[in-house]
């Protein structure tokens, strides 16, 4: 079987094991997972209600046009429905952009460290990832602009950035955008935009009608609590959206995902509670982590980094054996850091207690 080298050498994304399997392996129970930046409250009650009502229709194919969800998103975001692309998580929109516009040998600029799927999808498409190191855990937009070449097709701007939780300023983003050629697609990945408190943060949608090609990605996985349904969307120029809708599978978002997302989109009470609870949780965790003597890094998301000043994998194992699952940052180039997702108040308290025992 002949396989291109760039596929054979591809390192797949490694997901965590199910909690049930980890508990079986370690002989523990009652674990809490604070590793994947999920919504600890759960899904929107309105989404659950809509999903329950739709279960009787599982013998039908989903709406291949995403008509109702696309229409409601367009109304809420004040854009044209023809500028929206729905996907199986915002991950799929990334894949669609890469598949539609990247050819073997083309270059894609991305921050490092950042969302691991950028590099994986670019390599799978035969492209070259041009990585630009962060400066003080913030995207180096100047360095990214300087890295543009005649082979550049796409630039990923993860804002807020995962795993650092930092944002770029509106002023810096606009200076960067001025330097980007109009035919290069700037993908602004806003998976955590709902949690941002800093008003200097640029919003990708504000640049939709400019002379540069800006595609904004968002998801229902985080603030809306629908990670298990895998649904996200992109907002971009109509011509770009049209091309992606030609490339995507006709039923790429399932029936329950469409129904759940549509209901969650109008559950403002749930969204407001989620954001408020995360901010309260962050304030508590900042205070307690500092009290324990660890250095933490403030965030604009629902997760943050802690510098353990020791091997994060060892600490991760110790915490796991005590039933608290966090994310070691070795794969992101931070071997002494762990990433903590904000949990429920009782989960945050338990995290602090366990962290105090392993320091």
What is the structure's pLDDT at 20? 85
- Does the predicted model carry a pTM greater than 0.85? yes
Of 331, 282, 336, 338, the residue nearest 305 (C-alpha): 338
Half-sphere exposure of 136 (CA within 13 A, CB side): 3
Residue 2 Cα to chain centre, angstroms? 34
Provide the 3-class DSSP secondary structure of residue 127: coil
Tell me how long the chain is.
359
Q: How far apart are CA 248 and CA 86, in angstroms?
A: 9
Domain ranges of the chain: 5-43+269-358, 45-265
Of 130, 93, 117, the residue nearest 240 (C-alpha): 93
Q: How far apart are CA 199 and CA 203, in angstroms?
A: 10
Question: How big is the CA angle at 215 (ends 278 and 192), to the nearest 5 degrees?
Answer: 5
What is the structure's pLDDT at 303? 98
What is the structure's pLDDT at 3? 81
Of 241, 10, 265, 246, the residue nearest 125 (C-alpha): 10
What is the structure's pLDDT at 5? 80
CATH number belonging to domain 45-265: 3.40.640.10
What is the structure's pLDDT at 9? 77
Of 185, 170, 166, 37, the residue nearest 114 (C-alpha): 166
What is the structure's pLDDT at 11? 79
What is the structure's pLDDT at 6? 80
CB 216 within 8 A of CB 193: no
Which residue has 């630039």 as its token pair?
A: 155
Residue 254 Cα to chain centre, angstroms? 20
Which residue has 């949990």 as its token pair?
A: 343
What is the structure's pLDDT at 218? 98
What is the structure's pLDDT at 219? 98
CB 159 within 8 A of CB 139: yes
Half-sphere exposure of 10 (CA within 13 A, CB side): 21
Query: CB-based burial of residue 338 (10 Å sphere; 0-12 exposed, 13-18 middle, 19+ buried)?
Result: buried
DSSP assignment of 182-247, as one string?
Answer: TTSEEEEE-TTGGG---TT---GGGGTTSSSEEEEEEESSSTT--GGG--EEEE--HHHHHHHHHH
| pLDDT per position as a tens digit, 252-305 | 999 999 999 999 999 999 999 999 999 999 999 999 999 999 999 999 999 999
Task: Fill in the DSSP letter of residue 57.
Answer: G
**Inter-helix orientation angle 268-291/345-358, to 10°:** 20
CB 218 within 8 A of CB 193: yes
Q: Using 50 as the pLDDT threshold, list the residues of the chain that sit under it.
A: none
The answer to whether the Cα torsion of 300, 303, 225, 88 is positive or negative is positive
CATH number belonging to domain 5-43+269-358: 3.90.1150.10
Q: Where are the alpha helices (DSSP H) in the chain?
A: 5-8, 19-26, 45-54, 67-77, 90-101, 116-124, 141-146, 170-179, 238-247, 255-265, 268-291, 312-321, 345-358
Max CA pair span of the chain: 58
CB 304 within 8 A of CB 285: yes
Q: How far apart are CA 225 and CA 40, in angstroms?
A: 8
Work out the number of other CB atoms within 10 angstroms of the CB of residue 302. 27
């Amino acid at each position: 079987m002949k396989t291109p080298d760039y596929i054979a050498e591809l390192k797949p994304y490694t997901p965590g094991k199910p909690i049930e399997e980890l508990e079986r392996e370690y002989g523990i129970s009652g674990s809490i997972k604070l590793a994947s930046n999920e919504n600890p409250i759960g899904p929107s009650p309105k989404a659950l209600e809509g999903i329950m009502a739709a279960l009787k229709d599982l013998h039908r194919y989903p709406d291949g046009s995403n008509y109702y969800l696309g229409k409601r998103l367009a109304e809420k975001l004040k854009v044209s429905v023809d500028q929206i692309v729905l996907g199986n998580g915002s991950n799929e929109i990334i894949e669609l952009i890469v598949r539609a516009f990247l050819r073997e040998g083309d270059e894609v600029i991305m921050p490092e460290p950042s969302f691991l799927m950028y590099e994986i999808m670019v390599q799978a498409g035969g492209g070259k990832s041009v990585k630009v190191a962060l400066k003080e855990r913030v995207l180096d937009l100047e360095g990214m602009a300087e890295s543009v070449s005649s082979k550049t097709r796409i630039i990923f701007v993860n804002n807020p950035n995962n795993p650092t939780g930092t944002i770029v300023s509106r002023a810096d983003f606009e200076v960067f955008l001025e330097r980007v050629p109009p035919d290069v697609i700037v993908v602004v990945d806003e998976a955590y935009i709902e949690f941002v408190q800093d008003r200097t943060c640029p919003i990708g949608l504000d640049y939709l009608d400019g002379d540069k090609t800006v595609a904004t990605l968002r998801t229902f996985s985080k603030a809306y609590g629908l990670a298990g349904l895998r649904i996200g969307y992109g907002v971009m120029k109509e011509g770009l959206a049209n091309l992606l809708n030609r490339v995507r599978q006709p039923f790429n978002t399932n029936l329950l995902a469409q129904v759940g997302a549509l209901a969650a989109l109008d559950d403002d009470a749930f969204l407001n509670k989620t954001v408020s609870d995360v901010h309260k949780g962050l304030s508590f965790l900042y205070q307690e982590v500092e009290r324990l003597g660890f250095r933490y890094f403030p965030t604009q998301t629902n997760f943050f980094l802690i510098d353990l000043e020791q091997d994060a994998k060892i600490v991760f194992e110790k915490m796991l054996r005590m039933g608290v699952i966090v994310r070691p940052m070795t794969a992101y180039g931070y071997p002494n850091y762990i990433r903590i997702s904000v949990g429920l108040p009782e989960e945050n308290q338990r995290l602090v207690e366990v962290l105090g025992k392993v320091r």
